[in-house]
Amino acid sequence: MMGMSADAGASNIERTLLDTLDRLRRNPEGRYAIHLHLSQLQPANRQPERLRLVVQLFRPLEVGHRCQIFLLANGDIMVLTFDITPAEVRRMVGRVRGLFEDDPLTYDLPEDGRDPLATVFDLTTQLSQVEQVVGTLFERTQTRRRRPRVLGTGGESRESRPEPLDPRRLAALQERLNTIDLGPFLVRQPVLAIEGTRQASLVFEEIFVGIEELQAAISPDVLLGGDRWLFQDLSRRLDRLVLMRLARTISVRGPWDISLNLNLESLASPTFADFSASLEADQRILVEVQSIDLFNNVASYLTARDHLRAKGHAVILDGITHSALRLLDLSLLDPDYLKVMWSQTLDISGNPRMADAARAEIERLGPARVILARCDSERAVAWGLSLGITMFQGRYPEAMLGAATMDGCPAREQCTLTQCVTRRRGVAGPVPLTCPNPPRLHAVTYFRAGARSGARSGARSGATKEAG
């Protein structure tokens, strides 16, 4: 007997839900639909066991309130209830929020009535909206099932995928890059210095290319990262084009430093010199070097590091995992800063032996020059602060700065936190221009969590200068 595919099973769930909604049209009074947007959670929070916990929260309502639970194709959950008060609905959504309190999806408070975690529909007046949401998802599932399928090497059927990068495609892509404006594809993310008093200041901003967005725009049928060495060749061309674009982008100039992911070869180019000359007099460039690439050419790294220091700039050793902390003597490379990737493995509650080893290595390297990256929760920041780390990067610090940016903004009622963070993230292109008060996007350079934020021209003084 032929088994049912995952997509087929998922589409049956949407079809069943649509049928149920259609039957409810005859008597929708007293019924609510709760749409939990769990597909937007961080991957670690979308594990099956976490989703089962959400389902279990609603099980007690199945009898008294005729609750029906639907796990949708994209990982969202739709709950239909009957004869339940709005207060009870809010309580249930609050319990779901409690399960994922360390996830960025819960940071954006529903100031304008729209909650990024959950949407509640009163079926008496909003049944058609629920049908539209489910119908759209059903169509997407059907479209995915109808995609062209090709035979794999073993004769199995698989969906068509982007082709790997090869020399011919590389040449075509390099020509294509010369014809587009990279501005809309440039993204910035702040690195904050956070003191124990929760006073935070902007140390520098990392600027990088959104590779996935760029691929979708110029080569949806080619997997840019399919061949590491060819992609590195492409990245050298990107280095040049990015530096040229940033040299004429006013929004990157200010009382903060700039970090860039660059190939070591690009640092000796005239394009890098031109970009450096375009910045403010006291604005430094922090060049991020991937630790995995560094060991391919240590001599070039050492030369580039000394050259940057002589020009007043600095080097960040990027991509350091908990394994690298334990296995490599990073002090021999003497970088100015080390960017350590946060993971729950670092927390002593997960793996005490590994966590203790990471703590010891960070203390040996000097926590003052460690940047804890991928901080997607307050837990990550608290862990770093407990070790004496003061510099943090990730969605949680980004949300902190976004909240401070909204605080005191006369147009804040027109925006959500997610919108503010997204607009601030844009370097050029149309996204920042959608802000109702664009000057405010980069006005805040220091603030105290829970207090009013501030802006000043000398953002590097005091703690910020010490941090970076």
Maximum separation of any 2 CA atoms in the chain, in Å: 77
What pLDDT shows up at residue 62?
78
Percent of the chain residues topping a pLDDT of 70: 83
All residues at 6 or more sequence positions from 356 whose CB lies less than 8 Å from its CB, including other chains: 348
Whether 153 has a pLDDT exceeding 80, the answer reads no
Whether 203 has a pLDDT exceeding 50, the answer reads yes
What pLDDT shows up at residue 162?
63
Among 19-23, 121-125, 354-358, 364-368, which stretch is predicted with the lowest mean pLDDT?
354-358
Whether 9 has a pLDDT exceeding 50, the answer reads no
- Burial zone of 220 (CB within 10 Å; 0-12 exposed, 13-18 middle, 19+ buried): exposed
What pLDDT shows up at residue 293?
67
Mean of per-residue pLDDT scores for the chain: 81
- Per the model's pLDDT, the better-predicted residue between 349 and 4 turns out to be 349
What pLDDT shows up at residue 4?
33
CA 254 – CA 443 distance, rounded (Å) = 10
Taking the CA atoms of the chain, what radius of gyration do you get in angstroms?
Answer: 25
All residues at 6 or more sequence positions from 310 whose CB lies less than 8 Å from its CB, including other chains: none
In this prediction, residue 370 has a pLDDT band, given cuts at 50, 70 and 90, of very high
Look at residues 409, 408, 416, 358 and name the one whose alpha carbon lies nearest to residue 386: 358
Positive or negative: CA dihedral 244, 247, 250, 253: positive
Whether 219 has a pLDDT exceeding 50, the answer reads yes
In this prediction, residue 287 has a pLDDT band, given cuts at 50, 70 and 90, of very high
Label each residue of the chain as H, E or C.
CCCCCHHHHHHHHHHHHHHHHHHHCCCCCCEEEEEECHHHCCHHHCCHHHHHHHHHHHCCHHHHCCCEEEECCCCCEEEEEECCCHHHHHHHHHHHHHHCCCCHHHCCCCCCCCCCCEEEEEHHHHHHHHHHHHHHHHHHHHHHHHCCEEECCCCCEEECCCEECCHHHHHHHHHHHCCCCCHHHEEEEEEEEECCCCEEEEEEEEEEECHHHHHHHHCCCEEHHHCHHHHHHHHHHHHHHHHHHHHCCHHHCCCCEEEEECCHHHHHCHHHHHHHHHCCCCCCEEEEEEHHHHCCCHHHHHHHHHHHHHCCCEEEEEEECHHHHHHCCHHHHCCCEEEEECCHHHCCCCCHHHHHHHHHHHHHHCHHHEEEECCCCHHHHHHHHHCCCCEEECHHHHHHHHHHHHCCCCCHHHCCHHHHHHHHHECCCCCHHHCCCHHHHHCCCEEECCCCCECCCCCCCCHHHHHC
Whether 111 has a pLDDT exceeding 60, the answer reads no
Whether 149 has a pLDDT exceeding 50, the answer reads no
What is each CA distance from 333 to 260, 289, 303, 306, 327, in whole angstroms?
19, 12, 11, 11, 14
What pLDDT shows up at residue 410?
93
Q: Are 453 and 404 in contact (CB under 8 A)?
A: yes
Q: How far apart are the first and last CA of the chain?
A: 64
Q: pTM of this prediction?
A: 0.66
All residues at 6 or more sequence positions from 113 whose CB lies less than 8 Å from its CB, including other chains: none
Q: Can you tell me the mean pLDDT for 123-144? A: 81
Domains of the chain: 6-146 (3.30.70), 185-209+250-467 (3.20.20)
Whether 43 has a pLDDT exceeding 80, the answer reads no
Q: Are 141 and 134 in contact (CB under 8 A)?
A: no
